Amino acid sequence: MTDPLALDPILAPTDPGARPWNDDLPHDERFELFESHVLAGGKIEPNDWMPDEYRTAVLRFVEMHANSELMGVLPEREWIMRAPTLRRKLALTAKVQDEVGHAQLLYRVAEDLGKPREAMFDDLLAGKTKFHNVFHYPTKTWADIGIIAWLVDAAAIVAQQALRDSSYGPYARTMQKICWEESVHIMHGRDVVVTLMTGTDTQRAMVQEALDRWWGPLMQMHGPRSDRTKDRDLHWRIKAKTSEELRQEFLTIYVPRILELGLVIPDRELAFDEATGEWRYADPDWAELRTVVTNHGPMSEERLEFRRLNRAATAWVRDAILSEPRSAA
Amino acid sequence: MTENGDRMIDEGDPNVGAPEPEGGSSGDAPGAARSGTLEAWEVFRQEKDGDPMRHGGNVMAPDRELALHYAREMFSRRGESVRLWVVRRADIGVLDDLDLLQPPLDRSFKKPGGYVMRDKLAAARDRAGTSKPRARE
């Protein structure tokens, strides 16, 4: 029985929403409170106090993601006018618009962490910040568009789904929206590939040739194996899975779906090891990954130059938005 | 522009909010000089008629009109909203002090579950002689 007149604090102080590190405390004390909140699965919001290390780590992660969304539309954009039917043109246009939209959402998250958008564009175009390896390669045939939308997006979504639980609240919420939209892209890409695989021998060979070229970059995409205990982003729960966990997950879901179409995966060592419960595969070319992401890939410079020209050509729009409206008289 | 489009900048609409008083710094009344700086606008969206407005994200815009255009592009591109609100972030008041919101006092008397009367009700029924016959044991 409770006494309705009781005014003493009689309930246990269990308030998961409490944010004691926001109080004015010595740095070490704050840091400790902040960290125990994050390690217990708590979320961080933009107005919270956060250690510089955390802010920088989230910003770096989100900025790289935003850059990749922005640069990632360029290979696909090249095929809008060459898509084989009106419906494919519309779907591809919508996908490109989605990805630019994702870049917008992610740059917003990054901006709120303290780096202005213009500074992020400056750094991207100057080669100071990076974008994902897969967007540094040329698209040679229509089958590339199918492979990118299906498998590149699939590899990305494996990572992105794990980010829906990121400790940084605005990023986690943004990823929920992005994942919802990405699921359509995968269907679009798989439909392009499956359609080609029911076509002529030439069309089937075209898909196989595209897969042969894209498999290496796909296996490199999540990055080399890393030490879980040394990964700051994992420690802060900015991301939830290691690169190897993501790659394994991707292989488990997509290898059967690739093989059932009669495609051959260009890796003779690829096999599921029942003993370890893991996929074995030929060691990806990490030297290629390093070369490519430092903007020495086959299309790096051309795509960055496109962005530079594009930025200059659209400057008048940004100026117009910020200028005084002209008088009607 | 559709009717909705016109409403985007209809400052007289009570749903949109009254114009700032003379000398206010909003700078986005029709015809007024734009402030010339981008600021964050929080976007709320209603998924279907009758649903609550839920926070969707935010956009950068120099004024309310463009904030609504951007919000439409970002949050109803697939037709996933029936209504959008944009609110200048600076205009949002925040209270997140748990000492005020969730004071550690027994507030059970404010909740239905705070009234446990099974035994008392049985006693009252006994006294009134209205107790239901017990199921056979």
In this structure, what CATH number is given to the domain that contains residue B38? 3.10.20.520
Least confident residue range of A129-133, A255-259, B30-34, B120-124:
B30-34
Question: What are the chain A neighbours of B77 within 8 Å (beta carbons)?
Answer: 97-98, 101
A266: tokens are: 């260009």
Locate the chain B residue with the closest alpha carbon to A100.
B74
> Does residue B124 lie in a domain region?
no
Question: What are the chain B neighbours of A98 within 8 Å (beta carbons)?
Answer: 77
The pLDDT tens digits of the residues spanning A260-309 come to: 999 999 999 999 999 999 999 999 999 999 999 999 999 999 999 999 99
pLDDT number for residue B6: 40
pLDDT number for residue A22: 86
pLDDT number for residue B32: 45
> Does residue B101 lie in a domain region?
no
* Of the candidates A13, A16, A48, A15, the residue with the CA atom closest to the CA atom of residue A34: A48
**Could you tell me the pLDDT band of residue B23, with boundaries at 50, 70 and 90?**
very low
pLDDT at B127 over 90: yes
**Could you tell me the pLDDT band of residue B131, with boundaries at 50, 70 and 90?**
confident
The pLDDT tens digits of the residues spanning A99-143 come to: 999 999 999 999 999 999 999 999 999 999 999 999 999 999 999
Q: Please state which of the four CATH numbers 2.60.120.650, 1.20.1300.10, 1.20.1260.10, 1.10.3720.10 is assigned to the domain occupying A47-223+232-289.
A: 1.20.1260.10
> Does residue B106 lie in a domain region?
no
**Could you tell me the pLDDT band of residue A313, with boundaries at 50, 70 and 90?**
very high
3 state SS for B74-115 = HHCCCCCCCEEEEEEHHHCCCCCCHHHHCCCCCCHHHCHHHC
> Does residue B131 lie in a domain region?
no
**Could you tell me the pLDDT band of residue B17, with boundaries at 50, 70 and 90?**
very low
- Across the interface, of B34, B40, B106, the residue whose CB is closest to A6 is B106
Listed in order, strand segments (DSSP E) in chain A are 271-273, 278-280
Do the chains contact at B31 and A325, CB–CB below 8 Å?
Answer: yes
Question: What are the chain A neighbours of B62 within 8 Å (beta carbons)?
Answer: 321-322
Average pLDDT, chain A: 92
Task: Report the 10 Å Cβ neighbour count for B70.
Answer: 18
Question: What are the chain A neighbours of B108 within 8 Å (beta carbons)?
Answer: 2, 4
Contacts of A39 (CB under 8 A, 6+ apart): A237
Q: What is the DSSP letter of B131?
A: P
- Of the residues A176, A181, A321, A326, the best mutation for testing chain B's interface (the one with the most B CB atoms within 10 Å of its CB) is A321
> Does residue B129 lie in a domain region?
no
> Does residue B126 lie in a domain region?
no
B73 is in which domain, residue-wise?
3-91
- How far apart are the CA of A166 and the nearest CA of chain B, in angstroms? 16
A-B C-beta contacts closer than 8 Å: 70
Residues of B with CB under 8 A from a CB of A: 31, 33-34, 36-38, 40, 56-60, 62, 66, 73-74, 77-78, 94, 96, 98, 102-106, 108-109, 114, 116
A152: tokens are: 């590149």
Is ipTM over 0.90?
Answer: no
> Does residue B62 lie in a domain region?
yes
HSE value, Cβ hemisphere, 13 Å, CA-based, for A89:
7
> How far is residue A91 from each of residues A69, A72, B98, measured CA to CA in Å?
17, 16, 48
DSSP per-residue letters across B20-86: PPTT-S---STTSPP-SS-EEEEEEEESSTTPPPEEEEEEEESSHHHHHHHHHHHHSTTS--SEEEE
* Of the candidates A154, A262, A139, the residue with the CA atom closest to the CA atom of residue A199: A262
Task: Report the 10 Å Cβ neighbour count for B137.
Answer: 3
pLDDT at B4 over 80: no
> Does residue B59 lie in a domain region?
yes
Do residues B73 and A103 lie in contact, with contact meaning Cβ atoms separated by under 8 Å? no
- Across the interface, of A9, A104, A324, the residue whose CB is closest to B74 is A104
pLDDT number for residue A205: 98
The gap between the terminal CA atoms of chain A, to the nearest Å, is 77
The pLDDT tens digits of the residues spanning A15-64 come to: 556 788 888 889 999 999 999 999 999 999 988 999 999 999 999 999 99
pLDDT at B20 over 50: no
Number of domains making up chain B: 1
Average pLDDT, chain B: 78
The rounded percent of chain B whose pLDDT value lies above 90 is: 50
pLDDT number for residue B27: 41
Integer Cα distance of B114 and A264 in angstroms: 66
**Could you tell me the pLDDT band of residue B9, with boundaries at 50, 70 and 90?**
very low
**φ and ψ of A27, to 5 deg:** -55, -45
- Of the residues B44, B80, B96, the best mutation for testing chain A's interface (the one with the most A CB atoms within 10 Å of its CB) is B96
**Could you tell me the pLDDT band of residue B35, with boundaries at 50, 70 and 90?**
low
